[in-house]
């Protein structure tokens, strides 16, 4: 009797606990239905990235070396003064079609040099970059450091499309309808810039690409703002995963091998068991 009584108490306590949870859950759902949360400015004005198609998209996509070189030029001329690329080495640029001599010159002429440390870990000088060095980090002591761009297309949803949209979204303004509900966005705070593709709508970074022809492409491509933003987005897809093309080729080779192996296995099965009655 005592054991049965204890079990009954356990079931009652457990059932009561589940009932309380169900009531709390229903209360939350009912509250959301009757009093939905107020729409925020970020939700009302934020835009999804524009559609962007790159040569590297899809399972059969391949990097366009000419586009990657143009993207690297945009990074070098426009982005490198503020944003690091510290997970990429200069010698990796050979994958974009640069020669050893070109890579060596790019490394040597790079604006930020490599620090030289003494035995106690202090810096006592600088030296020229070598092809084996990674791109040097950019520091802004006391003011915060802008994000490193090495993995930016992996760290942001819609990666390349996000980069392209952000760079070309500075001229877009809030709609009149949105400003009726959020009049505070009629004036952008000092030191900030409205951009509907940025998470909280106002970004401290000034528009990097301000006019066509800001960089000079050597292959004859017209350097419009849209073209430059597309090229640098493609380049940052490569920095985030430089082995993307090789990985895909290996994947297709493995898939082909497994298909052939499957046919051979099935053929062997039919041959071995052909004379056996089931």
From the annotation, which residues make up the binding site for heme c? 79, 82-83, 205
Going from the C-alpha of 186 to that of each of 177, 180, 192, 202, the distances in angstroms are 11, 9, 13, 12
Contacts of 178 (CB under 8 A, 6+ apart): 41, 44, 45, 185
Annotated binding site: 79, 82-83, 205
Cα gap 238→244, rounded to integer Å: 8
> With DSSP H G I counted as helix, E B as strand and the rest as coil, what are the percentages for the chain, rounded to 5?
50, 5, 45
Beta-strand (E) ranges in the chain?
114-117, 123-127, 193-194, 202-203
Cα gap 56→64, rounded to integer Å: 7
Burial of 20 (0-12, 13-18, 19+ CB in 10 A): exposed
Contact 234/67 with Cβ under 8 angstroms? yes
């Amino acid at each position: 009797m005592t054991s049965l009584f204890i079990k009954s108490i356990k079931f009652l306590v457990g059932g009561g606990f589940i009932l309380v949870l169900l009531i709390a859950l229903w209360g939350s759902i009912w509250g959301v239905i009757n009093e939905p949360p107020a729409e925020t400015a970020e939700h009302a004005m934020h835009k999804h990235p524009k559609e962007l198609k790159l040569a590297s998209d899809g399972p059969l996509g391949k990097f366009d070396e000419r586009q990657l070189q143009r993207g690297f030029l945009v990074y070098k001329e426009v982005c490198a003064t503020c944003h690091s690329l510290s997970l990429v080495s200069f010698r990796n640029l050979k994958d974009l079609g640069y020669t050893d001599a070109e890579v060596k010159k790019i490394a040597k002429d790079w604006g930020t040099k490599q620090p030289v440390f003494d035995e106690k870990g202090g810096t006592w000088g600088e030296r020229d970059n070598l092809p084996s060095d990674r791109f040097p980090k950019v520091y802004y002591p006391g003011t915060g450091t802008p994000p490193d761009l090495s993995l930016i297309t992996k760290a942001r949803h819609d990666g390349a499309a996000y980069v392209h949209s952000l760079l070309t979204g500075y001229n877009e303004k809030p709609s009149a309808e949105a400003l009726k509900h959020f009049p505070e966005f009629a004036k952008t705070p000092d030191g900030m810039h409205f951009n509907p593709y940025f998470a909280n709508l106002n970004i401290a970074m000034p528009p990097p690409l301000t006019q066509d022809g800001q960089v000079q492409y050597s292959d004859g491509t017209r350097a419009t703002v849209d073209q430059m933003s597309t090229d640098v987005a493609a380049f940052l897809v490569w920095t985030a995963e430089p082995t993307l093309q090789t990985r895909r080729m290996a994947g297709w080779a493995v898939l082909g091998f497994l298909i052939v192996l499957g046919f051979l296995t099935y053929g062997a099965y039919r041959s071995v068991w052909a004379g056996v009655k089931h």
